[in-house]
Amino acid sequence: MIYVGTCGFSYKDWIGPFYPLGTKPADMLALYAGRFGAVEIDSTYYAIPRPSLFESMAKRTGPDFRFTVKAPGSITHAPVDGEPPPRDFSAFRACLEPLEQAGKLGAVLVQVPGSFSPSHDAWRRLELIRQRWPGMPLVAEFRNRRWQEDDARERLRALEFGWCNVDEPRLGPLMRPDAEVTSPVGYVRFHGRNAAKWWKQDRSPAERYDYLYTKEQLVEWLPRIAEVSERTEQTYVFFNNHRNGQAATNARQMAALLGMTTPPQDERDDRPQLSIFSDGD
């Protein structure tokens, strides 16, 4: 089963390029769910919401829609030799309960910083996360290619941590393109290849994700996505190049390349049409 979508859906600069002019923020999720079968929620990195938020979001999407949710930064970006706040572990788990009860929680993305490299303390942090969230479908996204070693992947399998394959600029220590699987959940994130703005932005951190993939660049990933999906129960493919709706554009293109169908751009309405949801194995 393959789901294609974007990292986030509530962006003002998507009104026009993706959402109809005049779209209100409260209407975005229903419109989004009419085009994509899953979304990655990243706002939870900055603040843990009340369970009522996800209860509302679950009700506004169809039964086959899936959410993946980013773990709080207070846990993933806390000093690796320290201890994240215990209350954040329990609060985050509690906020996800409506999605779990609705059968709509696809995975929790544990994204760590580039300074998080394989070490005793790093493994202790991953073990702690697994201990605090038993049974939760976890996926780790690393930003240091030292993790792309066989022994690290074997230890992730033992912890039942999934692996996030990424497309990003080919710079320094950043991760290489891969098709790795370490759990029943496959995961791919497209960050864009804006190398000039990756380390330093002029006005906004969002400039890092100002990038539009070409069709040829998306085609490069088809064999990798196929390999990941063949080895997992469900695979999520998300685009994070969100400036000016570019993520939505590339997600629709990728869905088409994968043989999925989406409503035409001019046939938007408020009905949750899950037509980008794959009916494959």
Domain boundaries, the chain: 2-257
DSSP 8-state assignment for residue 68 = E
Contacts of 100 by beta carbon, 8 Å cutoff, 6+ apart = none
Tell me: the pLDDT tens digits for 231-262?
999 999 999 999 999 999 999 999 999 998 65
Count CB-CB contacts under 10 A for residue 112: 23
Lowest mean pLDDT among 27-36, 83-92, 177-186, 198-207: 198-207
User: Would the pLDDT of 185 be above 60?
Assistant: yes
Tell me: the pLDDT tens digits for 29-49?
999 999 999 999 999 999 999
User: Would the pLDDT of 278 be above 70?
Assistant: no
CATH code of 2-257, in short, is 3.20.20.410
Residue 172: pLDDT band with limits 50, 70, 90: confident
Contacts of 115 by beta carbon, 8 Å cutoff, 6+ apart = 80, 144
Predicted model pTM: 0.91
Count CB-CB contacts under 10 A for residue 257: 15
Contacts of 55 by beta carbon, 8 Å cutoff, 6+ apart = 98
Rounded to whole angstroms, the Cα distance separating 73 from 234 reads 25
